Chains A and B, each alone.
Chain A
Amino acid sequence: MKLLEVEDLSVEYHLPQGKVKAVDEVSLTIDKGEVVGVVGESGSGKSTLAHAVIRLVRPPGKIVGGRVLFNGQDLLKLNDEDIRKIRGKEISMIFQDPSSYLNPVYPVGFQIAEVYEAHNNTNMKELNGEVVSLLKKVRITDSEVRVGSYPYELSGGMKQRILIAMAIALKPKLLIADEPTSALDTTIQAEILSLLNELKEEYGLSILFISHDIGVVSKIADRMIVMYAGKVVEEGPVRRIVEEPLHPYTKALVLATKTARKKKLFSIPGTPPDMFNLPKGCTFYPRCPYAKETCKEWNYKMIRDHEGGVACAIYENTGSS
C-alpha cells in the first residue's frame, strides 16, 4: 500500500475578484521512503497542494473535492481533533522562511520540547537530553549551548535545521517540505539537501518536496510532478524528466537550466497565466511553441504509462511514449 495517495484533490480560493481553482483535480502517490518533488512557477498551486494534504488551507481557500489517503485513512474525513494528532506526529512540515515559524521570544530548545509535550504529555524538564541529541542529528554544532539560543542568535541555515529538528522529533512517516531551501544560500542549500537525504535513509522518511527549482528537485527527489495553473502537466522519474521532458512546459523549464556560455537561453514567451481568467482548453497553449488550433478545445487528460504521464495534446494519438 502507498503511504500517501492523493486523488483528484481540488482547492478553490473565493476572492472578491472571483474564484480561483488553485489546485485542480491533482492526484499523486508517495511510497514509503520515497521523495516526490513538485515543481512549478509561483501561482501554479504547488504550495496550496502541500498545505491541502494536511488540511492547512485557510479561508478564503477551501478544499472542494478529492481524497487524501494516508495509510489508507482519508484525512479529509477526520475531525479536527484527529487531524491534529496526525500533524506533527505522522506528517510534519517545513517551510520556506524559517524565521516566521519560530517564536522570537523563546529559546529554540524550548520550542522543540513543546513538540514532544504537545503529543506525548511528557514533562518539559526531562526533555533536555532528547532535544540536544536531536540538535546533534540535524548537525548543529555546540548543541548543548544552542538549546538555549534564541532565534535571532542563529543564522538562516541553522533556523531551518531547528525547524527540521522539530519536524522529525516524533519520527513522522511523511515530511512535507515547502521550498525549504529557497531562502537560503547555495552552500547552505546543499547542506540542507544532504541532511534531508540522510534523514530519509535513516528513518525511511517519505518527503513531498515543493520547489520552483528543477535543479534542486533533481538533487533530492526520486519522482517529479510538474504543475502549471493548478494542474499536473507531467509526472515521472526525475532522471527521465530531466533528460527527456515530454510536456512543452517541462521542456522549457529544463532547457532554461541548460546554461551554454554566452548563448541565448531558451525562454518561454509570455507570462504565467491569470488564474482568474484561465484560457479555455489547454491552459498552456498561449505560451506553447507547439500549440495548434485544436489545443484551444483540448480537454485536460493525463496520458499515463507505467512510470508516469503527460497531459498534452501532442501525445494524444501517439499513445504513451
Chain B
Amino acid sequence: MQFMKILEAVNVHKYFPLDIFGRKKIRAVDDVSVYVTPSETLAIVGESGSGKTTLGRILSGLIKPDKGKILYKGYGFNGFHGKVQMVFQNPDSSLDPSWQIYDIVSEATNNKSLESVAEALETVGLNPAYVTKYPYELSGGEKQRVAIARAIATEPEVIILDEPVSALDASIRAQILNLLLDLQEKKGYTYVLIDHDLGRVWHISDRVVVMYAGKVVEEGKTEEVFQNPKHPYTMMLLSASTSSIPKPKIHVDIQGELPSLIDPPSGCRFRTRCPFAQEKCKTEEPQLYSTSSEHKVACHLFEKF
C-alpha cells in the first residue's frame, strides 16, 4: 500500500449555533484531523453525540467546516465530482420513495444508460430488473444495496459509510458487510466506516479513530488500539461492548454520560467520567501524544496504561 493520504481533514471545526446570534454553539467537531490512505478502511467510533457523523459529513463534502480544510489527494475541496460518496444508516430516508430505482441510482452519474445502472445493481447483488421498482417494493437489505449501488455508480474512490448496517436485521447485516468487503477487494475502494458497534469495527477496519465530545482521543491501527488501548475512554467502550472482541487489560466501568457540548469541561473533556482523572486533567487539555509511529492518544496519563 502506498503511503498517501487520499482524503484528509486538517484541523476541522464545526459548531452548530443554537440561536440566531450564535451566542451558544454546540461544538460538534472541535479541531479534528484525520486522514485515510487508499484502499484502507478507517473506522470512526464513539457514542452518539461524539461528533462522528458530523465528521463523516464534513469528509463527504455534505457540510462545510467552520474552520480547517478538507483535502482530496492533497488538493482543496472544490466538489469531489462523485469521487467521494456516502451511504447512510437508514435507506428508508435516504432513498426517495417516489423515484424508481433507475432514477435513484443514475441521479449522480454522467452515464445515465440503462446498462450502467443495471451493471451497478448486479455488482451489489440485485436483479437488474429492479430498475423499474420503487423503494417500497424492496426489503430493508435490498434498499441498502440500492444505496450502495447509487454510491458506486459514480465510480468513487472513497465511500463514507455512516452506520451502514445498524438499521438492518441481524441476519442481513452479515450479507451487507460481506458485500462491502467484496467490493473493496474487487474495486479497491477506500472506506470511512462510522459505526458505534465495536464488533463490526474490529471485523472490517484497518485503522480506527476514537472520538469523544467532538475530539479525537485515540487513533491507530485497529489491532493495536483494540489490544492495547491507551485512553480510558477506549477502554470503557471496549469494556461495554457485547461483541466478541478482545477484552481490555484494564476494565473501565461505565459511569456518567457525555458532557455538554455547549460548554464542555475544562482540560480533558473525558475527565468527568474518567476513573483515573487527576488535577492536571482539569487544567490542561491533553494533546495527541504518539505512543508509537501510528498510535496516538490524547491522555496525560497514557504512559501508565
Q: Which residues of A contact B (CB under 8 A)?
A: 41-42, 155, 157-158, 185-191, 212-216, 218-219, 252-253, 256-269, 271-272
Contacts and interface: CB of A to CB of B under 8 A. Distances in A.
Contacts of B173: 256
B175 interface: yes
A250 B199 CA distance: 19
Nearest to B47: A185
Contacts of A219: 242
Nearest to B203: A259
Interface in B195-211: 196-200, 202-204
Given A212-B169, A262-B204, A186 B47 contact: yes
A265 B174 contact: yes
Contact of B200 (A191, A213, A259, A267): A259
Q: Which of A185, A186, A259, A263 has the most CB of B within 10 A?
A: A186
Contacts of A214: 170
Nearest to B139: A271
A206 to B, nearest CB: 22
A186 B198 contact: yes
Nearest to B258: A155
B245 interface: yes
6 residue pairs, one from A and one from B, having the closest CB atoms: A267-B174, A215-B242, A190-B240, A259-B203, A265-B174, A268-B171
B178 interface: yes
B242 A267 contact: no
Given A189-B240, A190-B254, A216-B242, A256 B141 contact: no
Contacts of A260: 203
B108 interface: no
A266 B171 contact: no
25 contacts: A41-B171, A42-B169, A186-B196, A186-B237, A187-B237, A187-B254, A189-B242, A190-B240, A190-B242, A212-B169, A214-B170, A215-B199, A215-B242, A215-B243, A253-B170, A259-B200, A259-B202, A262-B203, A262-B204, A264-B181, A265-B178, A267-B175, A268-B174, A272-B139, A272-B171
Given A187-B240, A188-B47, A190-B254, 15 more contacts: A185-B47, A186-B237, A188-B254, A219-B242, A253-B170, A256-B173, A256-B174, A257-B199, A257-B244, A260-B203, A261-B202, A265-B178, A267-B174, A267-B177, A271-B139
Interface in B129-166: 139, 141-142
Interface of B: 47-48, 139, 141-142, 169-175, 177-178, 181, 196-200, 202-204, 222-223, 236-237, 239-245, 254, 257-258
B170 A186 contact: no
Nearest to A184: B48
Contacts of B204: 262
Nearest to A216: B242
B228 to A, nearest CB: 15
B271 to A, nearest CB: 16
Given A41-B170, A259-B200, A259-B203, A218 B141 contact: no
A148 to B, nearest CB: 19
A313 B198 CA distance: 36
Contacts of B254: 187-188, 190-191
Contacts of A269: 175
Given A259-B202, A264-B178, A252 B240 contact: no
A41 B242 contact: no
Contact of A213 (B142, B170, B178, B245): B170
Contact of B170 (A188, A212, A258): A212
Given A188-B257, A216-B242, A41 B169 contact: yes
A191 B170 CA distance: 23
Nearest to A254: B244
Nearest to B169: A41
A265 B203 contact: yes
Contacts of A272: 139, 169, 171-172
Contacts of B169: 41-42, 212, 272
A271 B245 CA distance: 27
Given A155-B257, A259-B203, A267-B171, A190 B239 contact: yes
A167 B75 CA distance: 57
B240 A186 contact: yes
B257 A157 contact: yes
B197 A186 contact: yes
B240 A259 contact: no
A34 B197 CA distance: 28
Contacts of A213: 170, 242
A266 B240 contact: no
B170, B178, B197, B203: residue with the most chain A Cβ atoms closer than 10 Å: B170
A271 B174 contact: no
